[in-house]
A and B are shown apart, each in its own frame.
Chain A
Amino acid sequence: MMGEDFHLPASLQIGLLPEWRNTERISTLAASLSGFEGVSDVVYGEDYLPGLTGLIGTLHKLDLFAGTIILVGVSLVVAGAVRLAVARRSLTVEMMTIMGASDGFVRAPFLFEGLLSGLAGSVGGLLFTYAVSQILSGSIDHSFLPGRWIGGVILLGAATGLAGSWMGLSSSLPSPRK
């Protein structure tokens, strides 16, 4: 089978494990591959790779920044919604306070509301993302978020809702003034 007509292909395409996919390790690998007998050239995009890696790093930072903005934004929206809810039920809150309701007793329904809002928002967001992912599955090769990420997003949504409602309550519940 391997006679004179057998030739190695003109080039070999090498796939890298994720932990090898950075400029430093790729250039080290390229240097060691260049030393192999019969290897005349190793091409790995050395001209544009550093720029591309930098761009990806920037995109990751933007991701984090956007995520933080969204988290703070969601917290503020939930805080505003809880403030409105407190205002809508101001008579109930006032009467409960006068009757000797503990802080926890007054806060609990609003915190629960914030928690549910956060949960509903994160689950809704995930469902929307899943639907988009399904629509794009024919044209773009990708996989949906792993299970741990899904759990994390739901927990983060719940925590954000809870934090938002806590913020909203802190500024809208009556407390004795001096």
Chain B
Amino acid sequence: MGPSSMPFRFRAVTLMIRFDGVYRSYSEWPALEDVSFSVEPGEFVVLTGPSGAGKTTILRLIWMGDLPSRGRVEVAGYSSDRMRPADFPALRRKIGVVFQDFKLLPDRTVFDNVALPLQVAGTSTRAVRKRVFSLLGEMGLSHRRLSMPHELSGGEQQRVAVARAMVAHPSVLLADEPTGNLDPVVSRRVIELLVEINRSGTAVLMATHDPRQIPPRLARLIFIEQGRIKDPSDIQSVEAR
């Protein structure tokens, strides 16, 4: 039986993320130009560059909130040029996303916020309760499970956001300036949390304008400026400017 006659599709995943000559423009304005890079399963990659360089656009292309204008994005075995409508939710369930402004739903408790990705995926109520209680316990948030987001500190809100991103066991975690709204002490804790998540086997791609937050031995650096990938050594010249 050849592969084409099999009653299912293989998704061989050797690379978690692969950008191949990706261009992305918005109203003729080029946000990304000829971007190519890859991320292996379990790798920690820091995507850095000045504001407006295209970091958020890259993250958005990874969860396929947008598609490339040219070139191809492959994530967890899904390719941007072969996406069927049902593939978008299936791909996104393999990805956890953490935002700078947390994006917690203000009218839901911590428990309900963290439970949302599982409910969206149709997980049974019992399994949702078990997983959410367990994760909130691991992250030291059990006592906050009935709190509303506005009752939490910034650090707690970001930990809830990370818990929400991790609750469905994603293959890759995207973090878009996750410490942008936090003080240095809390920022360090969030970074430690991301490193811990990465050590458990989840690939992490963190976008930040401050790459010094992560020790170089823990992560690979990708530097982007004006929509183009640059040599990481260019960072020093940018910092000098």
- Within 8 Å by CB of A176, from B64, B69, B86, B97, lies B64
| With A176-B88, A178-B69: A95-B105 Cβ-Cβ less than 8 Å | yes
Between A and B, how many residue pairs show CB distances below 8 Å?
Answer: 54
Per the 8 Å Cβ criterion, residues 1-42 of A in contact with B are none
Which residues of B sit under 8 angstroms from A103, Cβ to Cβ?
A: 85, 89
| With A176-B64, A177-B67: A100-B105 Cβ-Cβ less than 8 Å | no
Task: Confirm or deny: A96 has a beta carbon within 8 angstroms of a beta carbon on chain B.
Answer: yes
Task: Confirm or deny: A143 has a beta carbon within 8 angstroms of a beta carbon on chain B.
Answer: no
Structural contact, A102 and B89, CB atoms closer than 8 A: yes
| With A91-B103, A95-B116, A176-B88: A100-B66 Cβ-Cβ less than 8 Å | no
Structural contact, B65 and A100, CB atoms closer than 8 A: no
Interface string of A77-121 (1 = CB under 8 A from B): 000000000000001101111111111010000000000000000
- Interface residues of B, count at CB 8 A: 27
Task: Confirm or deny: A57 has a beta carbon within 8 angstroms of a beta carbon on chain B.
Answer: no
- Within 8 Å by CB of A100, from B67, B83, B85, B91, lies B91
Which residues of A sit under 8 angstroms from B65, Cβ to Cβ?
A: 97-98, 174, 176
Structural contact, B92 and A178, CB atoms closer than 8 A: no
User: Nearest CB to that of A178 among chain B residues?
Assistant: B67
- Within 8 Å by CB of A95, from B83, B94, B103, lies B103
Which residues of A sit under 8 angstroms from B88, Cβ to Cβ?
A: 100, 176
Which residues of A sit under 8 angstroms from B68, Cβ to Cβ?
A: 178
Structural contact, A101 and B89, CB atoms closer than 8 A: yes
| Alpha-carbon separation in the docked complex, A102 to B105 (Å) | 19
Structural contact, A176 and B91, CB atoms closer than 8 A: no
Structural contact, B116 and A96, CB atoms closer than 8 A: yes
Task: Confirm or deny: B120 has a beta carbon within 8 angstroms of a beta carbon on chain A.
Answer: yes
Q: For the complex of A and B, list the 4 residue pairs with the smallest distance between their C-beta atoms, beginning with the closest.
A: A100-B92, A100-B93, A101-B120, A100-B89
